[in-house]
């Protein structure tokens, strides 16, 4: 098998960078609507979100998916 990484837009990007960019793009209220988890709606912070997302694979997958969607929309100029 090859040791090469697949061409993933998430390669080399930390979870903290992802959450920070999403908050900057959507803001906490809209982020809480897009991904319905309490750490985005009730007294949100980057640190509390990171703690939750690192322990919860399904929530992390949703956040990463939203990040990829945001990147596609930015590329399209929306």
For residue 41, what is the domain's CATH number? 1.10.720.30
Domain annotation covers residue 70: yes
Q: What is the pLDDT of residues 32-75, one digit of tens each?
A: 999 999 999 999 999 999 999 999 999 999 999 999 999 999 88
Q: Is residue 63 part of a domain?
A: yes
Stated pTM of the model? 0.85
- Whether residue 10 lies inside any domain: the answer is no
- Residue 43 resides in a domain: yes
User: Cα dist. 27→7, 23, 70 in Å?
Assistant: 28, 4, 13
Quote the number of domains for the chain.
Answer: 1
Q: Which domain holds residue 22?
A: 15-76
- Asked if residue 3 is part of any domain, the answer here is no
């Amino acid at each position: 098998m090859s040791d090469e990484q697949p061409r993933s837009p998430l390669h080399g990007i930390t979870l903290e960078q992802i959450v920070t960019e999403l908050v900057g793009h959507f803001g906490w209220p809209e982020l809480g609507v897009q991904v319905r988890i309490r750490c985005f709606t009730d007294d949100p912070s980057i640190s509390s979100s990171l703690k939750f997302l690192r322990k919860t694979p399904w929530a992390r997958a949703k956040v990463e998916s939203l990040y990829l969607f945001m990147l596609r929309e930015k590329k399209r100029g929306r």
